[in-house]
Structure 1
């Protein structure tokens, strides 16, 4: 059956499969003459292409006389495969908070709603995700606005493609304290910092600038245990991580510069390679940002089960 796609009818079926991805179940599909004119192919070729898609069970159609032909059902994944449309690959932070889970769920489901696929990979560190885009291991990266601005100054071929608005990446960053600290006097204190997180680096170094502290390089996955075992005295971290909030005391930033930077760390943005903007725009076309954010909020509030 798949060998038929190397024929004239098969090539037409590939093009029509792409067109049918835009049609919702229950809607009338375009007329054969419409496809014929748009795609510059004969009516018989269009009819054969549609029959092939039905044979493969990519679509189920029903002719209703003068009313036209209606789409009863479709297999979007099969249509995408037939059309040769590869899914976008996006890199995101590890989903350790409800906010990240919600954003991932919103992206996946919003693509599905328009009959498209997106594959998400999860990587620690905004710099690593930017590098994945730069080296073409992923098509886009989700990072904070602050990380994007910092990294894009080094790579002019990258650009911010979409913005999600304030409080979509994190609600806030705070300083979390080990349990043995009763009064914060920073002299000789050990401050944990993940050197692969541009947000944490900037916030930490600004907050503790000119203070007599020791910076301890730590993988963020170790931060919780190192705080609990008093191997470090404090760290700057995402206030959306429930385990941290429930276990440790936290305080706000005292540095005005850290407070200013913190505002830019709350917004999630999509970074792409500007050379591929048209290609990526076609695949993001019709994806509803408002719906992504509605789903994110539902996951955060426990009203929706994460699915990513």
Structure 2
């Protein structure tokens, strides 16, 4: 690689770095000095100055110098900044949209991002472990999980970060235990309990609830639980109440005491790869939690059609 190409490569890296640096900022914010930026990114001052000039000339940012007070943002184009990071669109992955709550969450995320000029597509995948693997492999820019799952990944040193949190009951209304019609009101040794090893939520909730009972765990896919209950292949399984309400199924179930177990299973969060600095910076700017929740509520109340 010749000297010119090396210089251009360094300039390109600096432009991308500064675009990410400025994404979370607002008009009126003071930016770091050239010296501070140079130190932050281990880049020559001249390269930083050239990168700033490039951003200004391409309409991504307008700066105002106020002498000894520093340099401040006068105008900022977030979509142009995103383009200059090299990203033309984002792809996220969510649970299968089998409930109105999931459809509403998907609608809110999709609409809020696209309406703010961020071209975004959503994919759907069963099992939080499958979504994590796809995120780690770089197939997706972000993923939706429960807070319970995200906390589990963080505790187990997975390279993820929580980007947005949507509050209680944004992921599910509640989890319950579906039981066979022959259930007599008491779980005992040998009770056959369905467990989905690919779903952290379902796996952890099952283990938490049945921890002190010598039940027989039957590995199944989450989607197989209802059929297995009806065909008497299992006696019980942790399930999402939203799905039962949406299906109008005549299913026998009992509640789970979340508070006594300190379970954080109802909150939806967005996670991204820890090495990805663009998604957190961008989402802090263009993804408003309350707007997403308003879309979700409208879908649940059947005031608008899902769109994702």
Query: Normalising to structure 2: TM-score of the pair?
Result: 0.69
Determine the C-alpha separation between the residues in 2 that align with 1:255 and 1:101. Answer: 24
Residues 38-82 of structure 1 deviation map (CA, whole Å, 9 limit, x = unaligned) = 7437xxxxxxxxxxxxxxxxxxxxxxxxxxxxxxxxxxxxxx999
Residue number in structure 2 paired with 1:202: 204
Is 1:40 matched up with 2:40? no
Determine the C-alpha separation between the residues in 2 that align with 1:254 and 1:163. Answer: 23
Determine the C-alpha separation between the residues in 1 that align with 2:255 and 2:271. Answer: 29
Residues 244-293 of structure 1 deviation map (CA, whole Å, 9 limit, x = unaligned) = 66321111236875x322xx111111111122123552366322221111
Determine the C-alpha separation between the residues in 1 that align with 2:138 and 2:249. Answer: 39
Residue number in structure 1 paired with 2:299: 299
Structure 1 residues 156, 198: closer, same or farther in 2, change over 3 A?
Answer: closer
Residue number in structure 1 paired with 2:256: 253
Structure 1 residues 208, 256: closer, same or farther in 2, change over 3 A?
Answer: farther
Residues 108 and 291, structure 2, Cα contact 8 Å, conserved in 1: yes
Determine the C-alpha separation between the residues in 1 that align with 2:54 and 2:193. Answer: 67
Q: Which runs of 5+ in 1 are unaligned?
A: 1-35, 42-79
Query: Normalising to structure 1: TM-score of the pair?
Result: 0.69
Structure 1 residues 299, 279: closer, same or farther in 2, change over 3 A?
Answer: closer
Q: After TM superposition, which residue ranges in structure 1, 4 or more long, deviate above 6 angstroms?
A: 80-84
Residues 207 and 254, structure 1, Cα contact 8 Å, conserved in 2: no
Is 1:134 matched up with 2:151? no
Residues 193 and 215, structure 1, Cα contact 8 Å, conserved in 2: yes
Q: How far 1:154 moved relative to its partner?
A: 2.8
Residues 9-45 of structure 1 deviation map (CA, whole Å, 9 limit, x = unaligned) = xxxxxxxxxxxxxxxxxxxxxxxxxxx997437xxxx
Structure 1 residues 303, 188: closer, same or farther in 2, change over 3 A?
Answer: same
Residues 104 and 296, structure 2, Cα contact 8 Å, conserved in 1: yes
Residue number in structure 2 paired with 1:286: 286
Determine the C-alpha separation between the residues in 1 that align with 2:156 and 2:189. Answer: 35
DSSP 3-state at the match of 2:272: strand
Residues 198-237 of structure 1 deviation map (CA, whole Å, 9 limit, x = unaligned) = 1111111121123132110010111111111111111011
Structure 1 residues 82, 200: closer, same or farther in 2, change over 3 A?
Answer: closer
Residue number in structure 2 paired with 1:231: 233
Is 1:171 matched up with 2:162? no
Determine the C-alpha separation between the residues in 2 that align with 1:284 and 1:87. Answer: 17
1:112-151 matches, within 5 Å, as 112-151=114-153
DSSP 3-state at the match of 2:214: coil
Residues 126-159 of structure 1 deviation map (CA, whole Å, 9 limit, x = unaligned) = 1221222112111111001110011122335311
The count of aligned residue pairs is 235
Determine the C-alpha separation between the residues in 1 that align with 2:305 and 2:92. Answer: 21
Determine the C-alpha separation between the residues in 2 that align with 1:147 and 1:268. Answer: 10
